[in-house]
């Protein structure tokens, strides 16, 4: 390896940049999980839909991912409301805690949804991977080159996470959501409508997810395909568990950890083994975290 | 140990299995192949029924046992020159041990966390297999054992029969009460003296044994084991769909679910353009079942018609 | 009289909240100790530590000299200590008989399910639930659930019962009957018990000794009569009201 140090720093830079996007992609899952205590198994499929949304906006109107992201976010809001009333409302309505039954039902129902979306997408989109031809160039920081596109989406990702933090802590609706996530009965006692709050949280969650999918396309120059959700969903699960479900900045911490693992590990092992080993480690990181820090590594 | 009295549904299943065993030699190859595939899926359904249907631990990554079982046979036959039958036994053994290893760690986690751990284990296993030289890295192992349709059929038949019998005993004996209590309220179960840790592990190990044996048989059946095929999450999805539709935790449910799901799949295979839509349809069925009749077909019938409970299980 | 169950300097914290702070308590064979204190004083948490559901942050729990803190709850049950929950947790998918049968099967170690169900029938008669034996546990009233909870604990053949507010919410006649039932069963089966209670009538009628805790610490211990006169106890209970005044 020539100049190994340089390679690692380059990978580290990529890891951090990609990690930011992972974070926003997982953020929606974090939000929904943290507030409604329901895990959306179809999460990966919504990421995929967001990516395809950006692809079609690019193919039809020439929008780059930065422009597509807010449009995807709006679509996500609508999808979130539909998703809430279709899947979650029946189980959550009138209940003060999430029972094992609810957990099972939503796990299975969202799993069915995932199956449905993936296969519909495969039929409609075809399995051939596509990409968005957008390349705004590269900047150099010392001996490290940083693609402008990656920098921009990383910045937007962090901004989105920060915005949700501000929303949750500084606005009335945000406080209502936080109250609901801590104690539904108490929230109702102070006049908060649980259905409204849960629906809003779900809408925001899917909105962030689809926005993330759009931003993610920058890292997938030729990798947008119907099955991509099946790779990213587990990554998101690990990220949320790492950061702690419901802890908003946890998404960023988890995302960065995974981004770094996936990009830096291959630098230390043989090229043929690198990508697979990195993925395996990224996935298995979940286990020690669950064993030793089940609430997540963020305080 | 006193034997439980067998219910009509048990006899019904037994009858179906016996009939299949008898008519098999007379069937044309195509039908035999179809039945073999159906039985493989049935075996997988019964396997996941043990840990997910009966005990309530949703195993998203159950395909990991199938994959390792398949590779066990692949390695056993090609490198160790075992007979395919021994390969199937090896697959089962590997599944058993793997379930022990995975279960000791992951069964501590509840609900969603177990499900996700199971998922990442399967995904990680695929990645690890892809870069393991002894297992031919990502190339897969091609087997030159020749296609002995009847042997394959009777072997999977044996596996399914063993599972049906085991499931029956598990649901009717002491073990059945234990795991039902665990599924219902694990902490309350412990407060009554149920060693939930050990019981869950036993069930998981049995589950891994059968899934491993089925995976090994699948490799024999398809004369090869390829990582992207045998660790395909679609199998996990199928397994879950089958027991959800049929009825989780019931004796007949996995078989019914396997028939419904597999026949739809097989039919769609004959019309390639329909394949994606067939899976999508299965997805819709799963959604509807989960939201409207979570107990599946058999479970819901038992709930709506209590008088049938002694007959249909 | 040998002391069977001994808790020594038990602490239990949850994150920043210290629920139990250095509580020590001994329960002799066949005796009844009442554990009283205001709401939130840590009584249920303490029971959780004794039963193995929770691991103490520090301190020890021994049974007949053998350390049991840190053992799993099911192991503790098999060693002879059973608990009931403040809010009963029956298995709703099983019948009343099956609920008790499961306890007899595993805790009581009747390995044959049929034997266990027979044993369950016996226990159900003892507590007066035999008429509901075949009903689903899900349709029981709150009072019946408490009795079922108690029946399950007995079915484990435990020698030490940890009972969490089993006399709550009863009318005066029901309470009298329940106290009588408890006394009769204790005579017949010979168990010792730690009863966490707010219903003072029951505490007075049944306890050989009473321990008072407040904010996780023991503030008084003695006979029921002594404890009720203790100034610290009166202060801790200020405002609770006459409904709980002793007879």
SS3 of B75-134: HHHHCCCCCHHHHHHHHHHHHHHHHHHHHHHHCCCCHHHHHHHHHHHHHHHHHHHHCCHH
> What are the pLDDT digits (tens) for A243-280?
888 888 889 999 999 999 999 888 888 877 888 889 89
pLDDT of residue B210 exceeding 70, the answer is yes
Residues C70 and C191 in one domain: yes
Of A82-86, A269-273, B42-46, B76-80, the poorest mean pLDDT is in A269-273
What is the average per-residue pLDDT within B29-38? Answer: 90
Percent of chain C at pLDDT above 70? 93
Give the model confidence (pLDDT) of C8-31 as tens digits: 999 999 878 889 999 999 999 889
Q: Which of B137, B240, B283 sits opposite A116 (nearest CB)?
A: B283
Is the CB of A280 less than 8 angstroms away from the CB of B291?
Answer: no
Which residue in C44, C73, C154 has the most chain B C-beta atoms within 10 A of its own C-beta, making it the best mutation to test that interface? Answer: C73
Q: Answer yes or no: is pLDDT of C237 > 50.
A: yes
B180 touches chain C (CB under 8 A): yes
Report angle CA A268, A274, A277 to the nearest 5 degrees: 105
C chain contacts of residue B294, beta-carbon cutoff 8 Å: none
The answer to whether residue A220 neighbours chain B at the CB level (below 8 Å) is no
Task: Report the percent of chain B where pLDDT is more than 70.
Answer: 98
Reduce the DSSP state of residue A46 to 3 states and report it.
helix
Q: Which of A111, A122, A230, A244 to mutate to test the interface with B (most CBs of B within 10 A)?
A: A111
Question: Is C236 domain-assigned?
Answer: no
DSSP codes of every residue in C157-195: T-SEEEEESTTTT--HHHHHHHHHHHHHHHHHH--EEEE
To 5 degrees, how large is the angle CA C198–CA C201–CA C204?
Answer: 100
Q: Which domain holds residue C211?
A: 1-80+158-168+178-224
Asked whether residue C246 carries a pLDDT value surpassing 70, the answer given is no
Predicted local confidence at residue A298, as pLDDT? 66
- When pLDDT is averaged across residues B174-194 and rounded to a whole number, the result is 92
Those chains having 3 or more beta-carbon pairs within 8 angstroms of chain B are A, C
Q: d(Cα B281, Cα B287) in Å, to the nearest integer?
A: 10
The whole-angstrom distance between B280's CA and the closest CA on chain A is 4
Q: Is B282 exposed, middle or buried (0-12, 13-18, 19+ CB in 10 A)?
A: buried
Report CB contact under 8 Å: B191, C53.
yes
pLDDT (0 to 100) of residue B141: 82
| Contact criterion met (CB < 8 Å) for B294 and A272 | no
Query: Is a pLDDT exceeding 80 seen at residue C3?
Result: no
Q: Kindly list the residues from chain B whose CB atom is less than 8 angstroms away from the CB atom of residue C156.
A: 192-193
Rounded to the nearest angstrom, the minimum Cα separation between B177 and chain A is 18
Residue B5 pLDDT: 67
A145 near A10, Cβ under 8 Å? yes
The answer on C45 and C137 residing in a single domain is no
Of B173, B193, B195, the CB nearest to C113: B173
The whole-chain average pLDDT of chain B stands at 88
d(CA A212, CA A235): 13
- Nearest beta carbon to residue A90 from set B112, B233, B291: B291
Q: Using CB atoms within 10 A of its CB, is residue B171 exposed (0-12), middle (13-18) or buried (19+)? A: buried
Calculate the alpha carbon distances from B108 to B104, C76, C158 in Å. Answer: 7, 19, 27
At residue C135, φ and ψ (nearest 5 deg) are -80, 155
Distance, first Cα to last Cα, chain C: 29
pLDDT band at B24 (very low <50, low <70, confident <90, very high): confident
In terms of Cα–Cα distance, which of A194, A169, A166 is closest to A180? A194
Which neighbouring-strand residues pair with C163? C195
Whether residue B190 and residue C72 make contact (CB cut-off 8 A), yes or no, is: yes
C146 and C162 both lie in a single domain: no
Task: Look at residue B134 in the predicted model and tell me its pLDDT.
Answer: 78
- pLDDT value of residue B220: 92
Chains in touch with A (≥3 Cβ pairs < 8 A): B
Contacts of C105 in chain B (CB under 8 A): 174, 177-178
Average pLDDT taken over every residue of chain C = 88
* pLDDT in the model for residue A5: 64
C73 with C184, same domain: the answer is: yes
Residues C220, C117, single domain; the answer is no
Determine contact: A126 vs chain B, CB below 8 A. Answer: no
Residue in B58, B244, B283 closest to A119 by CB:
B283
What's residue B93's pLDDT?
96
Per-residue pLDDT tens digits for A231-245 = 899 999 999 999 888
> Is the ipTM here above 0.90?
no
pLDDT above 50: residue C81? yes
The verdict on C187 and C68 lying in the same domain is yes
CB C178 within 8 A of CB C167: yes
CA distance C168 to chain B (A): 20
Of A279, A286, A287, the CB nearest to B127: A279
Looking at residue B208, its pLDDT comes to 96
Measuring CA to CA, which residue among B198, B255, B248 is closest to residue B44? B255
Instruction: Examine residue C131 and state whether it is found in any structural domain, yes or no.
Output: yes
Residue C238: pLDDT band by 50, 70, 90 thresholds?
Answer: low
**DSSP code for B3:** P
Would you say residue C146 lies in a domain? yes
Does residue B1 carry a pLDDT above 50? no
Low-confidence ranges of chain A (pLDDT < 50): 1-2
pLDDT band at B193 (very low <50, low <70, confident <90, very high): very high
Tally of domains in chain C: 2
Q: Which of A112, A244, A275, A290 to mutate to test the interface with B (most CBs of B within 10 A)?
A: A112
Q: For residue C241, what pLDDT is reported?
A: 47
pLDDT of residue A126: 81
Among candidates B178, B184, B194 on the partner chain, residue whose Cβ is nearest the Cβ of C92: B184
Residues C69 and C107 in one domain: no
- Domain of C45: which CATH number? 3.40.50.300
Chains with 3+ CB–CB pairs under 8 A to C are B
């Amino acid at each position: 390896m020539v100049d190994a140090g340089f390679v690692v720093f380059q990978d580290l830079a990529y890891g951090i940049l990609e990690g930011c996007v992972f974070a926003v992609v997982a953020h929606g899952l974090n939000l929904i999980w943290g507030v409604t205590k329901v895990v959306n198994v179809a999460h990966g499929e919504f990421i995929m839909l967001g990516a395809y949304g950006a692809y079609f906006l690019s193919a039809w109107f020439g929008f780059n991912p930065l422009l597509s992201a807010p449009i995807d976010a709006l679509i996500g809001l609508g999808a979130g409301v539909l998703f809430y009333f279709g899947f979650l409302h029946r189980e959550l309505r009138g209940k003060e805690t999430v029972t094992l039954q609810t957990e099972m039902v939503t796990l299975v129902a969202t799993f069915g949804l995932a199956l449905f979306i993936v296969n519909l997408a495969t039929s409609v989109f075809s399995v051939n991977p596509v990409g968005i031809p957008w390349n705004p160039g590269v900047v150099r920081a010392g001996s490290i080159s940083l693609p402008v596109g990656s920098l921009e989406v990383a910045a937007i990702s962090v901004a989105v996470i920060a915005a949700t933090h501000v929303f949750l802590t500084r606005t009335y609706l945000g406080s209502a959501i936080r109250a609901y996530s801590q104690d539904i009965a108490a929230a109702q006692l102070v006049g908060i409508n649980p259905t409204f709050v849960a629906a809003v949280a779900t809408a925001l969650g899917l909105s962030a997810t689809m926005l993330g999918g759009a931003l993610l396309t920058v890292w997938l120059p030729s990798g947008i395909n119907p099955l991509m959700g099946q790779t990213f969903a587990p990554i998101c699960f690990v990220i949320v568990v790492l950061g702690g479900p419901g802890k908003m900045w946890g998404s960023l911490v988890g995302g960065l950890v995974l981004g770094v693992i996936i990009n830096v590990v291959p630098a230390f092992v043989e090229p043929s083994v690198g990508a697979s080993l990195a993925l395996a480690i990224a996935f298995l990181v979940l286990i020690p975290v669950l064993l030793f820090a089940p609430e997540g590594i963020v305080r | 140990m006193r034997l439980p009295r067998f219910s009509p549904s048990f006899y019904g299943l037994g009858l179906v299995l016996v009939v299949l065993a008898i008519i098999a030699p007379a069937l044309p190859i195509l039908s035999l192949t179809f039945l073999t595939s159906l039985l493989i899926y049935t075996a997988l359904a019964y396997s996941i029924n043990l840990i997910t249907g009966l005990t309530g631990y949703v195993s998203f990554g159950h395909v990991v046992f199938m994959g390792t079982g398949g590779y066990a046979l692949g390695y056993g036959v090609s490198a160790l020159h075992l007979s395919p039958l021994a390969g199937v036994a090896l697959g089962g053994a590997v599944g058993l041990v793997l379930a022990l290893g995975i279960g000791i760690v992951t069964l501590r986690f509840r609900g969603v966390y177990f499900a996700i751990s199971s998922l990442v284990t399967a995904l990680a296993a695929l990645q690890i297999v892809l870069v393991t030289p002894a297992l031919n890295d990502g190339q897969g192992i091609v087997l030159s054992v020749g296609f002995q349709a009847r042997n394959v059929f009777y072997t999977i038949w044996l596996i399914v029969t063993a599972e049906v019998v085991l499931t029956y005993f598990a649901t009717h004996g002491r073990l059945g009460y234990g795991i039902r209590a665990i599924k219902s309220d694990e902490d309350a179960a412990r407060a009554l003296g149920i060693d939930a840790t050990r019981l869950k592990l036993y069930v998981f190990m049995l589950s891994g044994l059968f899934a491993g044996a089925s995976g090994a048989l699948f490799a024999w059946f398809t004369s090869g084991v390829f990582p992207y095929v045998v660790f395909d999450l679609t199998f996990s999805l199928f397994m879950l769909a089958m027991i959800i539709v049929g009825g989780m935790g019931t004796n007949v449910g996995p078989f019914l679910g396997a028939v419904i799901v597999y026949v739809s799949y097989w039919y769609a295979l004959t019309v390639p353009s329909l394949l994606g839509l067939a899976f999508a349809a299965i997805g819709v069925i799963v959604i509807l079942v989960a939201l409207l009749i979570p107990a599946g077909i058999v479970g819901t019938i038992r709930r709506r018609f209590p008088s049938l409970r002694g007959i249909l299980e | 009289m040998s002391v069977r169950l001994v808790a020594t300097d038990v602490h239990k914290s949850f994150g920043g909240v210290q629920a139990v702070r250095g509580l020590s308590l001994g329960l002799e064979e066949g005796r009844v100790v009442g554990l009283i204190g205001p709401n939130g004083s840590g009584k249920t948490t303490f029971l959780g530590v004794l039963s193995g559901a929770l691991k103490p942050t520090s301190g020890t729990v021994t049974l007949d000299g053998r350390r049991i803190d840190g053992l799993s709850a099911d192991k503790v049950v098999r060693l002879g200590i059973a608990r009931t929950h403040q809010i009963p947790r029956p298995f709703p998918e099983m019948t009343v008989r099956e609920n008790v049968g499961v306890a007899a099967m595993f805790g009581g170690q009747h390995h044959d399910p049929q034997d266990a169900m027979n044993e369950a029938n016996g226990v159900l008669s003892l507590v007066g639930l035999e008429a509901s034996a075949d009903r689903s546990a899900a349709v029981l009233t709150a009072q019946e659930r408490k009795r079922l909870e108690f029946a399950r604990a007995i079915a484990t053949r435990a020698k030490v019962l940890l009972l969490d507010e089993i006399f709550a919410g009863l009318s005066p006649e029901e309470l009298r009957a329940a106290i009588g039932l408890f006394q009769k069963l204790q005579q017949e089966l010979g168990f010792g018990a730690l009863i966490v209670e707010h219903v003072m009538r029951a505490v007075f009628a049944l306890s050989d000794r009473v321990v008072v805790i407040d904010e996780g610490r023991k503030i008084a211990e003695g006979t029921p009569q002594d404890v009720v006169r203790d100034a610290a106890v009166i202060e801790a209970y200020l405002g609770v009201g006459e409904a709980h005044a002793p007879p």
